Amino acid sequence: MSGTGNKEPVVVVVDDDADIRGMLDFALVTAGWRVVGAADGQEALDRLRGGLRPCVVLLDLTMPRMSGSQFVAALRADPRLAATAVVVLSGDGNVSQKAVALGTDGYLSKPLDLDTLYDTVRRFCP
């Protein structure tokens, strides 16, 4: 679901749960953001290396192929992508500690309120 133009800020949603991906898309697009989904870290990394520059990456942790922490490590190792803002969005019980350990720009704990989601995304994508 894309918005009305290429100037709209892009939010990358990385989650292996297609339903969560779909509903994040629904929630963010209807609020005016553009959304690109990825089913795992590898797919997201490929999109970023392909030139996509999101204002924020909403990142799940537990995923097949490439997990959230592996994605962050690969991102930080790539000078072109190291500055990308990443917010962990996970149902893991220790999400706050894990986010701090990964050095991400924020974290959200599933499940969460739509307003909390919007507030967080707005910090990175005005």
101 binds another protein (CB under 8 A): no
Question: What's the min distance (Å) between Cβ of 25 and another protein?
Answer: 9
Q: Per-residue string for binding with another protein, 60-99, x by CB under 8 A?
A: -xxxxx-x-xx--------------------xxx------
Q: Per-residue string for binding with another protein, 27-66, x by CB under 8 A?
A: x--x------------------------------xxxxx-
Q: Which is nearer to another protein, 53 or 94 (CB)?
A: 94
Beta pairing partners, 59? 14, 88
Question: What's the min distance (Å) between Cβ of 33 and another protein?
Answer: 13
Six token digits for residue 47:
């999109």
Question: SS3 letters for the chain?
Answer: CCCCCCCCCEEEEECCCHHHHHHHHHHHHCCCCEEEEECCHHHHHHHHHCCCCCCEEEECCCCCCCCHHHHHHHHHHCCCCCCCCEEEEECCCCHHHHHHHHCCCEEEECCCCHHHHHHHHHHHCC
Tell me which residues touch another protein (CB under 8 A).
Answer: 1, 17-20, 22-24, 26-27, 30, 61-65, 67, 69-70, 91-93, 110-114, 117
